[in-house]
Amino acid sequence: FDTVKRWVILSTLCFLIPVQECRSVCVDPYTQPQTKDVETEAVLGKPIKLTCISCMKREEIEAKTKVDWYFYNSSIEKKNLMRNLILIYEFNRSPPDEDGPWKGRLLWNGSKDLQDVSISITNVTLSDAGRYMCVVSRTFSFNLYTPTFTNSITINLVVREKVDFFLFFFYPCVYRTDYLAIPSENKENPGPAVTE
């Protein structure tokens, strides 16, 4: 009788313990259109991650990826937008040549598969406030066709001298550095956004 009882318990446990398949997933927290605007806050003297995610729809296809991070200089005339953009970080599989006020304070915070192409600013200063633009260019190689796709995300960074405790306690997602994402089985038509 004990043997039958053990067999029933073990077989029940086998059905209750789920076996999960592990695979990497990219979840783009931004929605269409092609250019996205995001606002984020930083605290003076603390690090901040400027999140830029650019998912590839087909991970098995190789692409040459180039990532440029720009700072929008609002002190220059607004006639020509490209003249107002200062290249602060360039990633093309080689170490960046940093210069200017960000020297020694910019860190690559992206993923190995180059779907998360974020950077971090250490020791945030008041002069770091402003608009940042992440531009991701991917060139795909097919037999006779090499298309290039470009995606950009603009981040408006606000620097505070101290943490806004009201926002910290009542809106914790503002100061979170990570988030939970549940992958969708269908990459072409992902499910609704995950909310807490």
Candidates 133, 129, 134; CA nearest to 158 is 129
User: What are the tokens at 101?
Assistant: 């006020």
Tell me which residue range forms the domain holding 121.
27-174
Q: Within a domain: residue 20?
A: no
Query: Residue 75: its pLDDT value, please?
Result: 59
Query: Residue 179: its pLDDT value, please?
Result: 43
Contact at 8 Å (CB) between 132 and 69?
yes
Q: Within a domain: residue 74?
A: yes
Q: Within a domain: residue 152?
A: yes
Q: Within a domain: residue 1?
A: no
CB atoms under 10 Å from CB of 174, counted, come to 13
Q: What is the dihedral of CA 195, 50, 156, 168, to 10 degrees?
A: 50
Q: Within a domain: residue 96?
A: yes
Q: Within a domain: residue 180?
A: no
- pTM given for the model: 0.65
SS3 99: coil
The CATH number for 170's domain is 2.60.40.10
Query: Residue 133: its pLDDT value, please?
Result: 94
Rounded-to-integer distance, Cα 173 and Cα 127, Å: 25
Query: Residue 84: its pLDDT value, please?
Result: 78
The pLDDT averaged over each successive group of 10 residues in the chain (196 residues) is 68 57 54 62 92 78 88 66 79 66 87 89 92 92 84 91 63 45 44 46
Domains identified in the chain, total number: 1
Query: Residue 177: its pLDDT value, please?
Result: 45
Q: Within a domain: residue 191?
A: no
Q: Within a domain: residue 99?
A: yes
Query: Residue 180: its pLDDT value, please?
Result: 39
